[in-house]
Amino acid sequence: MYDAGKVTIGLLIFLLLVTVPFWYNVAIGKADYAPQLEKPANAEQCIRDTEYMTAYHMNLLNEWRDDVVRNNDRFEVATDGQMREKSLSNTCLSCHTSKEKFCDQCHDYLGVEPYCWDCHVIPEELGQ
């Protein structure tokens, strides 16, 4: 092949470059990192199946947001018959009191930064 050597070296460099984040994590010992989630003290279960929540909580939040803001539908009936408010700060954070020790654990690791907190207020940070 024409200039096979150069191509191979080039490819190797390329591979090395695209895997930099991986090597970086190995180097700082983050490779086998697992998020340390603080379990709520006041409940055993989340408001939906845990698997569902792990994978789809952002969809649920979007649904809630549209229900509340656009469809004037603010409450849902929980399995125990109680009315539950569809609210990020008032509901999610009433169990997961520490955003830092819960939500951020995953998000920081994944590098997602939901912009919700630009507006939605974290009760814990107010000392309430």
Catalog residues that contact other proteins under the rule CB under 8 A: 65, 69-70, 72-75, 77, 82-83, 85, 88-90, 93, 115, 118-123, 126, 128
With CB under 6 A, what is the number of residues at the site for ligand HEC? 42
* Residue number with CB closer to other proteins (5 or 127): 127
* Residue number with CB closer to ligand HEC (19 or 90): 90
Q: Does 110 bind ligand HEC (CB under 6 A)?
A: yes
- Which residues touch 84 (CB under 8 Å, ≥6 apart)? 47, 75, 76, 77, 78, 91
For tokens 């200039």, the residue is 3
* Orientation angle between helical segments 20-27 and 4-18, nearest 10 degrees: 50
- Which residues touch 106 (CB under 8 Å, ≥6 apart)? 35, 37
Q: Give Cα separations from 121 to 5, 13, 27, 126, 128 (angstroms).
A: 58, 46, 36, 8, 11
| Choices 3-11, 14-22, 26-34, 87-95 (CB under 6 A): range interacting with ligand HEC | 87-95
Chain residues binding ligand HEC by CB under 6 A are 35, 37, 39-40, 43-47, 50, 53-54, 57-58, 60-61, 64-65, 68-69, 86-92, 94-96, 102-103, 106-107, 110, 112, 114-116, 118-120
